[in-house]
Amino acid sequence: MSTIESFNPSAWLRPPHIQTLLPRLVFRCRQWYGQWETFALNDGDFIELCWHPHATPDSQRPLVVLFHGLEGSVDSPYIWQTMEELAEHDIDSVVMHFRGCGKTPINRLPRAYHSGDIGDPTAVIVALRERYPNRSIHTIGFSLGGNMLVQLMSTELADVLTSAAVCCAPLDLMSCSKRIDRGFSRLYRKYLLTPLKQKFTIKQQRGMFKDCTQLNSLDVNKMTSFLEFDDKVTAPLHGFSDVEDYYHRASGKQFLKQIRKPTLIVHANDDPFLGPDVVPHIDEMNPHVTYEKHPHGGHMGFINYQHRFYSWLPTRLVNWVSEKEAEKL
């Protein structure tokens, strides 16, 4: 395990809920529109990609593909700040929005996305590899997107990638589902569940579940926990028998031993979203994995202050990408 670049915030910034909530409060909105691309999927649905406006598609510069967290997007501070930091280092970037998380909030099919859904990211990376055969491609995943990325890096697709970085990932889903049901973390649960329930209800009203009586008549508005929502909605929509089957098969920790390319994993010890079981033991990883657990940082926070608020995490991630790029030379 490694803590080469330790995150040490000022004492008044150390409480985990301050770290978690502060980014949305102190950082300006994204100041650029980006280059949007609608990416067609083989099942007739679509996802939306957003390229940083300084990306140069015909260049040979490294390319980083980013995967956001649950109900995140390019507007999430951790996404656009990382993309800006990459651009400052002459590295291109594109964020893949999971189904229904881009500019178009309702996708065409009943299904949505989940923590172990590597199908759409695989399609995007394969297409980018074909489009840019001479570029090195790196990946960064945050929270849900990070959990997904761990599984993806254990497959043969990792062989076309140079590296991965995984941030604040719920590598044991059952542990995290129970953790977010406790104390102040229930505020985050409500914040994340509300848009999921809203999107599901819109699909119901449009008759998208008419072939499934169970889902068509389901009242999600009464649900207050991820455990219930994932059992009644996420699992049946995506081919799992129940929530236990979903959490077991989709949790990323079991794939760490099979990771095939250099992968950085960053956790904060005080993350209010993550249960204790997300932390892997040394014998659950292989030499491709660099694991960093920092005492502070909250969930997708890692904010410090020196004359102004700034995010430590994008710099750490860009340094990782730059290091792995240099090792190719």
Calpha distance 99→26 (Å, rounded): 28
With vertex at residue 114, the alpha carbon angle to CA 110 and CA 118, rounded to the nearest 5 degrees, is: 105
Is 251 a known active-site residue? no
Is 143 a known active-site residue? yes
User: Which residues share a beta bridge with 167?
Assistant: 142, 266
- Catalytic: which of 54, 97, 299, 311? 299
Contact 34/51 with Cβ under 8 angstroms? yes
Which structure tokens are listed for 250? 């989709």
With a CB cutoff of 8 Å and minimum separation 6, the contacts of 53 are 32, 33, 34, 35
- Catalytic: which of 143, 163, 175, 251? 143
Contact 186/279 with Cβ under 8 angstroms? no
For 307, other C-beta atoms within 10 Å of its C-beta total 5
Is 43 a known active-site residue? no
Strand positions, DSSP E, 41-151: 46-51, 63-67, 92-96, 137-142
- Catalytic: which of 117, 230, 231, 271? 271
Which structure tokens are listed for 326? 């240099």
Q: Which residues participate in catalysis according to the annotation? A: 143, 271, 299
